[in-house]
Structure 1
């Protein structure tokens, strides 16, 4: 999730644990702890792909965060002894904030290395990386806690319950769409071996569906509010890796994306795209792996670079209409608005 949400979640948890001792300092400490795991973004692993796939690594590991939280708690109690803030209470706060950070990240589409140093990326994809309906109640609880000593902790506790229920709603909505997708794939004779269902920006009502096959992938949209259960899928070629040599970063990207990858040539550049994040041709993670020389041969890059994808918010109004169940705009949305006519 975004940094604002993680900080807000950390502050809200801290306020809930603090109870009557909830104050601005406690909320600030929770916010700082809530953003701590994301400081790994300052690390440079040498190239754009490595920086992407190694994010949410050791700083998000459920094998490392609890002992690290206990160490922080011991250090705090060692140098700032307090009758109320016992080692037990401080430990509950620090462990809760750090662990919920990585668990919330694992509910997005990006992928989180929950058991680092062991291999594996985990994601439930039941919430978008930015969702106002999740974040705004947390911010509201923090505001109440800053101005009300008697109601602050209770608001934090209540909003934590509400936010957890919202995550549960996201998962339930995803399963509802998954059942609909399964029926559509069978009716349209499409493959069902590798299917991704993930929310579109800022909501859990409109869902993006990606269906993989050997040579093509299909992309469609499905809203909880649709009256027609049919999903209009658009097929696109997957492309293939054209070189004999496969760099280690490509294998890493395959693992990171669970092989939801697309290969294409554009302006004499070999571009590899992660199909999970973004929509249509507005994909978030695209990398230039090779360039053609004057003879037309591919020259593998020493270090893959980020491809400057054009992403913006100009299509949000169209997505809003589609979210409300207007399926008549599907063709325009997938083929033109999202850049399918490249």
Structure 2
């Protein structure tokens, strides 16, 4: 999730565990330590596919972070025994605090759709539980208010209880998000089955800043996918559209390593399109209907009409900002409570999928 959320989560955790010893400093130390896993963003890769798929890798591994927590706890306890023998520091308590602050960062990231390699170096598909959007005020605000309260009042007595309550509320919200996601998936699956369609895979992802309305995707064995919109308040079937995955176009890349890595990272949720002379690969998991966040130019046609693989570049289309500027995101938010009129999914897809491309290094 966003850096502010990770910082306040770390502050709340370290404040709850070590606040009685460290006082307000526990909030600062926890906020700083919680941002450590995201230091991998300083590593620059040769292409955007690598940049995307190596992010949230080794630095988000629970194995690596557990080792780091143990090392930090040992170092701090060794210093504390000499300088603050009466403070009450113990190796066990320090390890618990540091471990919680560090490991909850990638676990919280795994509750978003992007993909987090919790078990690196094991080669599992990155965890992508898609319970919350990458920025969700309903998750962050209770933690932020609790941290501000503790910073104002000090880490004694009631403040620790307030931090613990905020942590319980935020954790319960993640559970709500998971339940909402599964309900959205079930609604689309039932709607498709009523039409005699048996999807091979269904998944839902939250839409901008809430866990109330979901973009739901379903693959079918014939090489197509359905994209729909579903709200927790729906009483009727979600509106949806049927679109091609165009998987045959992927054969032009002849199992290129970066394409295979992208397939692994996304769990195979890829669509292929020919735009001008370019072969564009889209990650279907992130974005808004018909307007996906991660799209890559991965090949071009030569003078003989043959596909030639390229070092991937970002395909620069209108971006999700265009849907905000055009008021389309506001229509989606209105859709949370009202299914009529249905959203114009086909019109949006036709508008955004056919845009002329540019290349970005």
Fold shared, TM-score > 0.5 on shorter chain: yes
Q: Residue 196 in 1 paired to residue 203 in 2?
A: yes
In the aligned structure 2, how far is the partner of 1:22 from the partner of 1:318? 48
Q: Residue 128 in 1 paired to residue 133 in 2?
A: yes
For 2:294, which of 282, 285, 289 is the aligned residue? 285
In the aligned structure 1, how far is the partner of 2:276 from the partner of 2:23? 56
For 1:85, which of 89, 94, 97 is the aligned residue? 89
- 1:341–1:71 Cα change, 3 Å: closer
Determine the structure 2 residue equivalent to 1:113. 117
Deviation at 1:299, TM superposition (A): 2.1
Q: Residue 320 in 1 paired to residue 312 in 2?
A: no
Q: SS in structure 2 opposite 1:109?
A: coil
In the aligned structure 1, how far is the partner of 2:96 from the partner of 2:134? 26
Deviation at 1:268, TM superposition (A): 1.3
Q: SS in structure 2 opposite 1:140?
A: helix
Deviation at 1:341, TM superposition (A): 7.0
In the aligned structure 1, how far is the partner of 2:275 from the partner of 2:240? 24
Determine the structure 2 residue equivalent to 1:9. 9
For 2:173, which of 147, 154, 166 is the aligned residue? 166
Task: Between 179-188 and 93-102, report the one with greater CA deviation.
Answer: 179-188
Q: SS in structure 2 opposite 1:243?
A: helix
Determine the structure 2 residue equivalent to 1:36. 36
Deviation at 1:22, TM superposition (A): 5.6
Q: SS in structure 2 opposite 1:195?
A: strand
Q: Is the 8 A contact 2:281 2:298 kept in 1?
A: yes
Task: Between 203-212 and 177-186, report the one with greater CA deviation.
Answer: 177-186
CA RMSD in angstroms, aligned pairs only: 1.9
Q: Is the 8 A contact 1:277 1:285 kept in 2?
A: yes
Deviation at 1:249, TM superposition (A): 0.5
In the aligned structure 1, how far is the partner of 2:303 from the partner of 2:343? 39
Q: SS in structure 2 opposite 1:64?
A: helix
Determine the structure 2 residue equivalent to 1:220. 228
Determine the structure 1 residue equivalent to 2:357. none
Determine the structure 2 residue equivalent to 1:245. 254
For 2:277, which of 268, 275, 280 is the aligned residue? 268
For 1:306, which of 311, 314, 317 is the aligned residue? 314
Q: SS in structure 2 opposite 1:197?
A: strand
- With normalisation by structure 2, the TM-score equals 0.88
For 1:234, which of 241, 258, 276 is the aligned residue? 241
In the aligned structure 2, how far is the partner of 1:245 from the partner of 1:338? 29
Deviation at 1:271, TM superposition (A): 0.6
Q: Is the 8 A contact 1:18 1:153 kept in 2?
A: no
Q: Is the 8 A contact 1:335 1:341 kept in 2?
A: no
- 1:243–1:143 Cα change, 3 Å: same
For 2:106, which of 102, 121, 129 is the aligned residue? 102
In the aligned structure 2, how far is the partner of 1:319 from the partner of 1:90? 46
Determine the structure 2 residue equivalent to 1:70. 70
Q: Residue 256 in 1 paired to residue 261 in 2?
A: no
Per-residue Cα deviation, 1:86-105 (whole angstroms, up to 9, x for no partner): 22221111100111111111
Per-residue Cα deviation, 1:205-231 (whole angstroms, up to 9, x for no partner): 101110112421110011011232x12
Deviation at 1:244, TM superposition (A): 5.4
- 1:84–1:337 Cα change, 3 Å: farther
